[in-house]
Structure 1
Amino acid sequence: MTTYILKKGMIPFVIGLVVTVLPVFMACKKNTITTAEEVVVTPPVPEVKYVLDWADEFEGTTLNAANWTPEIGYNIGGNAEQENYQAANIAVADGHLQITAKKQQIGVSGYTSGRINSLNKKDFTYGKIEARMKLPRGQGLWPAFWMLGSNMRARGGEPGVGWPACGEIDILETINTEIWASAAAHWAKPDGTHISSGNKINTTPGEYHVYSVIWTKETIKWYIDDKFYNGLWIKDGKGSTSEFHLPFNIIFNLAVGGTWPGQVIDDTKLPAVMLVDYVRLYKEIK
């Protein structure tokens, strides 16, 4: 954004911008225009408009099967997590998605939790996506709202490209009792080497916040309560980011333990519940 500074003795010539500077005094003897004071004029930023394209308000008493698939199994994320994901740990009640982590022995795992994705039900490229969430606190907990490239796994007769070649957009993650929210992107170089970029912002994860991403052909930008705190330039696949121009799907999960939060779990904080008030996807109006 360009800021034009109009100073005394200057005649403003601004293409495409109508500027009114008051007061203006004419000095006829010298045929000059002099302003009484310096005026800073900032051209307006073009307004980007969005329209709601898809949403889940989590009304009713059951998970909407047209939107979500529960993932079942142990250490699905491959991050040395300790939970066994179960459909029974996913509920819809009181206008919220509720994902509950429990101390519960199933198979080799001493913990259970929940994870859902929108793969093959809501896959999309570009837009503004947001969720209003309240996160649990406790050593070993790892709540997340994120997206994976939908070509990670084989589908439609096409082989999956795997991770990180599929790309990953972490809209919100936090761990343990930290007071920050984390934003990140993961992708691959042409040789398959993992690349990542991200940032953190101090917040209060135990309170409700709106976590969002605005994803365009040029950039991915992360926000908390409409406050920008991270960005990634992806125009024309810059920096081997071509995977961020393909469809992605949405994931909500609450992990227990893992490479990031560590393997020490505070069982006194269980059961722990991650609450999602809503998730909404908006498309830009051209």
Structure 2
Amino acid sequence: MGSALKTSDHFIGHNIKQRSVKLTASIVTLFMLSFSTPTLAGWEVQWIDPFEGTGVNWDNWTAQTQANYNNEVQCYTDDDSSVNKNFDVSDGTLKIIARKHNNHCPGLGGKSKSWTSGRLNSKDKSEFLYGRIESRIKFHNLEGGSWPAFWMLENRIAEQPIKGDGDKIGWPNAGAGEIDVWEWFSNKPDTYITNFFNRTSKNSQRKTACGSLVLHNYAAGAADVQNWHTYAIQWSEDNISFYMDDTLVASQNMGNCKQYKEPMFVLLNVAMGGNLGGRIDRRLKKATMEVDYVAHCIPTDTNDSIYCNENTPNATDDGQNEI
């Protein structure tokens, strides 16, 4: 969900207080042992945002208002309170709402845009290294032109918020690589995308060094995106596997991959139009992505949970599992 444009034979790359990763050697060892086979004993929650209350928890998220990629037509805002807000937290879910609305986008220096929308990231607030990253999502609209996504970027990327803590790397070099957990295009509605964007060196700028694109078909076709589904990755040093509900969608060997061995942050957004969103249906005035929760879990042998959600046991509060 792009930080830059790619050539036509590639999909476009996409584009929570600061905490450092404090995984102890014992936790890492436990993780690697647990992840050496596809079957884990279980998971325990290390971090979760269940989207309770009446607004976005800004301790967890930043509204990325300076994003402008892929010839998209939306202005990203931080509006979670006005009549035309782009973020609505209510009834236990987050709604990211794209609205057809001509505007001069403040985050883009007054550039004229025809839509507003929302893009949240957890950079410098909640970042994760290995484990299971999961969200439960549904999208409300089938009209053409929308592009919702749940994805991740490495934490040294030069994107808002910039804190000067090494975050000066250009996408998708080492430190700024991308994993797309779930991306859906309303103009190609029967499938969703899982994908990677990365580079091993400046001398291989056009080469995807590890991981590959996998398209997963919705069993009920396009209308299935309007139903709740759980999308997740299970990530270790040597493997990244993608899941929808309890179905393994793809398993990618990361053994020879130089990237994805440092913390990453989560992004949620709805883009409109552009290179992949495509032509926007003239009848479309509003497009809504609804998110039940986002969570990160670490492996455990104390339960048999297969999901990482509000019903999953919490990690023991011994100070070893913080980020």
- What do the CA deviations read for 1:209-228 (whole angstroms, capped 9, x no partner)? 00110011110110101211
Q: Within 2, Cα distance between the matches of 1:168 and 1:227?
A: 22
Higher relative CO (Cα under 8 Å, sequence separation at least 6) belongs to 2
Higher strand fraction: Structure 1 or Structure 2? 1
Describe the SS at the equivalent of 2:259.
Answer: helix
Alpha-carbon shift at residue 182 of structure 1 (Å): 1.1
Matched position secondary structure for 2:274: coil
Select the residue among 177, 197, 201 that pairs with 2:212.
197
Superposition pairs of residues 1-286 of structure 1, within 5 angstroms: 47-73=40-66, 76-88=67-79, 89-107=86-104, 108-135=112-139, 136-153=141-158, 155-165=163-173, 166-177=176-187, 178-190=189-201, 191-194=203-206, 195=208, 197-203=212-218, 204-235=224-255, 238=256, 241-262=257-278, 264-285=279-300
Deviation at 1:205, TM superposition (A): 0.9
Which has the larger Rg? 1
Q: Following TM superposition, by how much is the alpha carbon of 1:87 offset from its aligned partner in structure 2, in angstroms?
A: 1.6
Offset of 1:45 from its aligned partner?
7.2
Deviation digits for residues 44-63 of structure 1 (CA, Å, limit 9, x no counterpart): 97633221101011011010
How many residues in Structure 1 have an aligned counterpart in Structure 2?
236
Runs of 5+ in structure 2 lacking a partner? 1-36, 80-85, 105-111, 219-223, 302-323
**TM-score normalized by structure 1?**
0.78
- What is the aligned-residue RMSD (CA, Å)? 1.8
Q: What's the TM-score, normalizing by structure 2?
A: 0.69
Deviations along 1:73-108, one digit per CA (max 9) or x if unpaired, are 4xx252111100012211211111110011101121
- Alpha-carbon distance in 1 for matches of 2:167, 2:296: 28
Partners in 1 of 2:165 and 2:137 — Cα distance?
Answer: 36
Distance 1:104 1:151, change over 3 A: same
**Distance apart, 1:189 and its partner CA:** 3.1
Q: Partners in 1 of 2:69 and 2:275 — Cα distance?
A: 9
Counterpart code for 1:78: Y
Matched residue type, 2:273: G
Aligned pair in 2 of structure 1 residues 216, 48: CA closer, same or farther (>3 Å)? farther
Percent of aligned positions that are identical: 32
Q: Kindly tell me: are residues 265 and 93 of structure 1, through their superposed partners in 2, closer, same or farther at Cα, counting changes over 3 Å?
A: same
Structure 1 stretches lacking a partner, 5+ long: 1-43
Cα deviation digits, residues 129-181 of structure 1 (max 9, x gap): 11110113221100000000111126444252110111101000010151212
- Output the CA distance in 2 between the equivalents of 1:254 and 1:45: 32
Give the SS at the match of 1:268: coil
